[in-house]
Structures are given as C-alpha cells and as structure tokens.
C-alpha cells in the first residue's frame, strides 16, 4: 500500500472506533446506516493492455490488465430522531483493493541450432478510498431500494512490466543448450491519484438487518501514472452486509 495512504486509513479507523465507542457508551448518537463487503470486476482502458516490443518474437501475446477483480468494504450512516433520518443524504466511505498479474512466454527458433525465449510479467495494484454521500429512495419499501452516490476519490497505484529475453545455442560437445545472450527491460511506476466517483445500485434488506445488493461505480482520475496511463474505470459488483 502507498505510504501516503496510511495516515487517512489510520484516521478513518480511529474515527470509526471512536464513533462506535461513543455510541456504545452513551447511546445518544442514534445512528442508522449500512456496512457491507463488496466484490466485483473493474474495467480499465486499453492503456493497460500490453504487447511485446521484443525484436525477435514480435508482438506476441498481449498481457491484459484491463479486467482486475476488486474487493472492498463500504459504509454509510445517518442520524435518526423519532425514526426519521435527520440528514437528506448519508455520508459514505469505501475502501477497495484491486490486483491483477499476467505473465506469458514465447519461444521461437532463430537458427537450426539456436532458439530465443521471451518471458513477460505485468502487474497492477490499486488501493482506492472513496469519500462522499449516498442517497436512498424510499427506504421504507419492503422490497428493493435504489440508491445513488458520489464524491471524491483517492487512489494509490503501482504497476510494473518486465521483459526478459534469453537466447540459447546447442553445444555440440555436450548436447545441451548454452545461454549465449540475455536481455531484460523493466518499466515501473507508482503514484497517488485523485479524482471523482459516482455510483448507482439497489439493495434488499432482509428482516431489517441483512443487506444484499448490486452496485455499479465509475471512477474518474484527474491525473495518471507511467506513460499517461489513467486508472479511470467502471466497476460492477455485488455486496452483502448489515443494516443498523
């Protein structure tokens, strides 16, 4: 995780602990809200679909990092008075983790007694913190309740793309292939990105306590890493959690 995210994450955990402790100790906050675990799939742009520039093997097979899985936790809350929410929207926070790792290799004969192997490895890791609000429509409904949300996003991004090429030639004396040349190249970068997020979804609450739902989110980052690689993405997933 990017070191610059440790402070806001620690602050968040302390704030949640303090709120829970105060609520348990004094019972005066009268909070209502939702805490859920989220799992889904992200869609990044074609900047994250890498091909090889190796002069011997050519383009080769693409390393596609555009569809990482995403997991996280999200929460929102409101204050109640006489069973009525005091605020028109619920302040919300979400923390999401994405990671994808693709690798492949290709071997081609460059002469009757010689061959070249290229190995590629590409990795992308994202830690996203979303701060904003959510608005639920008709929370008293007995079936599915739709909602929308939006706010600010902070993303820690780390990626690397490594290529290693090895050329081997047959040693007629031993009958084995000896390495006669090795090349390697690596492109890596990390950064702290910021942007906006928006979401829409629906939730079904079972016995006024357990939540099941689906959510679509869109992340738009205002800056990028690497060779102008943006981590703006769409995200589709399911969530399950508690209503309190």
Backbone angles phi, psi at 209, to 5 degrees: -135, -40
pLDDT score for 25: 37
Using CA atoms, how far apart are residues 34 and 149, in angstroms rounded to an integer?
14
* Residue 244, helix vs strand vs coil: coil
Q: In the predicted model, what is the mean pLDDT of the chain? A: 82
Give me the DSSP letters along 134-194: EEES-TT-SSEEEEEEEEEEEEEEEEEEEEEEEEEEE-TTTSSEEEEEEEEEEEEEEEEEE
Residue 43 burial class via C-beta count within 10 angstroms: exposed 0-12, middle 13-18, buried 19 and up: middle
- pLDDT for position 105: 72
- % of the chain at pLDDT higher than 70: 80
DSSP state of 5: G
Instruction: Name the pTM for this structure.
Output: 0.79
The tens digit of pLDDT for each residue in 121-160 reads 889 999 999 999 999 997 666 789 999 999 999 999 998 8
Pick the CATH number of 3-243 from 2.40.160.20, 1.10.287.1770, 3.30.160.20, 3.40.50.510: 2.40.160.20
Is the pLDDT at 235 greater than 60, yes or no? yes
Task: Name the more confident of 187 and 209.
Answer: 209
| Geometric angle at alpha carbon 58, from 57 and 59, rounded to 5° | 125
Fill in the DSSP letter of residue 3.
G
> Which run of H or E residues covers position 101?
strand 90-111
pLDDT digits (tens, 9 = 90+) for 75-90: 999 887 666 777 889 9
Q: Quote the tokens at residue 28.
A: 């005066």
Alpha-carbon span 33 to 179, nearest angstrom: 63
Q: Is the pLDDT of residue 27 over 50?
A: no
pLDDT at 13 over 60: no
Distances in Å between the Cα of 147 and the Cα atoms of 16, 60, 150, 155 are 23, 44, 11, 24
pLDDT reading at 56 higher than 50? no
Q: What is the pLDDT of residue 12?
A: 52
Q: What is the pLDDT of residue 29?
A: 62
Is the model's pLDDT at 14 over the cut of 60?
no
Q: 152, 151, 150, 242: which is closest to 203 by C-alpha? A: 242
Q: For position 28, what pLDDT does the model report? A: 56
Taking only the tens place, the pLDDT of each residue in 87-113 is: 889 999 999 999 999 887 777 778 888
């Amino acid at each position: 995780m990017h070191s610059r995210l440790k402070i806001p994450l620690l602050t968040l955990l302390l704030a949640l602990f303090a709120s829970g402790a105060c609520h348990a100790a004094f019972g005066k906050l009268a909070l209502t809200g939702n805490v859920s675990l989220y799992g889904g799939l992200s869609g990044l742009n074609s900047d994250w679909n890498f091909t090889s520039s190796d002069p011997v093997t050519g383009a080769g097979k693409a390393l596609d990092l555009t569809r990482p899985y995403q997991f996280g936790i999200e929460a929102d809350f409101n204050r109640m008075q006489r069973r009525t929410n005091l605020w028109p929207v619920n302040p919300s926070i979400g923390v999401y983790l994405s990671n994808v790792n693709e690798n492949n290799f290709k071997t081609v004969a460059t002469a009757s007694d010689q061959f070249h192997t290229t190995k590629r490895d590409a990795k992308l890791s994202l830690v996203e913190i979303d701060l904003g609000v959510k608005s639920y429509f008709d929370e008293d409904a007995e079936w599915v309740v739709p909602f929308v949300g939006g706010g600010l996003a902070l993303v820690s991004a780390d990626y690397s793309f490594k290529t290693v090429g090895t050329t081997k030639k047959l040693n007629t004396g031993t009958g084995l292939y000896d390495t006669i040349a090795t090349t390697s190249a690596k492109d890596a970068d990390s950064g702290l990105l910021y942007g906006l997020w928006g979401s829409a979804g629906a939730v079904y609450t079972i016995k006024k306590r357990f939540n099941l739902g689906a959510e679509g989110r869109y992340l738009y980052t205002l800056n990028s890493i690497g060779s102008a690689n943006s981590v703006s993405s769409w995200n589709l997933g399911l969530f399950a959690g508690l209503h309190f």
